[in-house]
Structure 1
Amino acid sequence: MQILSLGSRTLRFMSLRKVAMGFSTLLILASFASVFVKGLNFGLDFTGGTAVEVGFSQPADLKKVRAALADNGFADASVQLFGSSQEILVRLAPRGSDVKAEVIGNQVIDALKKADDSVVMRRIEFVGPSVGEDLKEQGGLAMLTALICILIYVAFRFEWRFAVGAVGALLHDVIITVGLFSILGLEFDLTILAAILAVIGYSLNDTIVVSDRIRENFRKVRIDDTVEIIDISLTQTLNRTLVTSITTILVLIALFAWGGQTIHGFATALLFGVFIGTYSSIYVASSVAIAMGVSKEDLIPEVIEKEGADLDAMP
Structure 2
Amino acid sequence: MELFRDANIDWLGKKWYFLGFSLIFSVAGVLSMLFWHGIPKGVDFKGGTLVYVKFDTTPNEDHIRAAMDAAGIRGTKITQISDIQGKSGNEEVIGLPESASLDANHDAGREQVLAALSSNYHDSGFSVQQVEIVGPTAGKQLQSQAWFATGYSLLGMLVYLWFRFELIYGVAAVAAVFHDTLITVGAFSLINQEITLTVIAAILTLIGYSMNDTIVVFDRIRENLATTRRENLADVVNRSINQTLSRTVIASGLTFLTVLSLYLFGGEVLHGFSFALVVGILIGTYSSIAVAAPMLVAYQDWRLKQGKQAVLPAKRVKA
State the TM-score, normalizing by the size of structure 2: 0.87
Is 1:213 the counterpart of 2:215? The answer is no
8 A contact 1:164–1:288 mirrored in 2? no
Amino acid at match of 1:79: I
1:80 corresponding residue in structure 2: 79
2:111 corresponding residue in structure 1: 106
Residue among 13, 17, 20 paired with 1:19: 17
Q: C-alpha distance in 2, partners of 1:151/1:25?
A: 23
8 A contact 2:56–2:124 mirrored in 1? no
Is 1:149 the counterpart of 2:149? The answer is no
Residue among 195, 198, 217 paired with 2:202: 195
Amino acid at match of 2:44: D
Question: How much has 1:138 moved relative to structure 2?
Answer: 1.1
SS of 1:292's equivalent in the other structure is helix
Ranges in structure 1 where 5+ consecutive residues have no aligned partner: 1-5, 303-315
SS of 1:242's equivalent in the other structure is helix
Amino acid at match of 2:9: L
1:290 corresponding residue in structure 2: 297
Q: C-alpha distance in 2, partners of 1:277/1:288?
A: 15
Alignment of 1:260-299 (within 5 A): 260-293=267-300, 298-299=311-312
Which 10-residue stretch deviates more, 74-83 or 109-118? 109-118
8 A contact 2:166–2:314 mirrored in 1? no
Amino acid at match of 1:110: A
Alignment of 1:232-271 (within 5 A): 232-271=239-278
Label 1:73 to 1:7 Cα distance change in 2 as closer, same or farther (>3 A).
Answer: closer
SS of 1:73's equivalent in the other structure is coil
Question: How much has 1:106 moved relative to structure 2?
Answer: 2.9
Question: How much has 1:257 moved relative to structure 2?
Answer: 1.3
Q: C-alpha distance in 2, partners of 1:224/1:175?
A: 35
8 A contact 2:53–2:127 mirrored in 1? yes
Amino acid at match of 2:145: Q
Residue among 89, 94, 97 paired with 1:90: 94
SS of 1:266's equivalent in the other structure is helix
Amino acid at match of 2:161: V
Q: C-alpha distance in 2, partners of 1:115/1:51?
A: 21
Amino acid at match of 1:131: A
Q: C-alpha distance in 2, partners of 1:273/1:186?
A: 15
Q: CA RMSD in A?
A: 2.0
Alignment of 1:35-184 (within 5 A): 35-38=33-36, 39-84=38-83, 85-93=89-97, 94-95=99-100, 96-101=102-107, 103-113=108-118, 114-184=121-191
2:86 corresponding residue in structure 1: none
Q: C-alpha distance in 2, partners of 1:168/1:301?
A: 20
Q: C-alpha distance in 1, partners of 2:297/2:242?
A: 17
Ranges in structure 2 where 5+ consecutive residues have no aligned partner: 84-88
Q: C-alpha distance in 2, partners of 1:130/1:52?
A: 20
1:311 corresponding residue in structure 2: none
SS of 2:73's equivalent in the other structure is coil
State the TM-score, normalizing by the size of structure 1: 0.88
Question: How much has 1:115 moved relative to structure 2?
Answer: 2.4
Which 10-residue stretch deviates more, 168-177 or 291-300? 291-300
Question: How much has 1:118 moved relative to structure 2?
Answer: 1.2
Aligned residues: 296
Q: C-alpha distance in 2, partners of 1:120/1:31?
A: 40
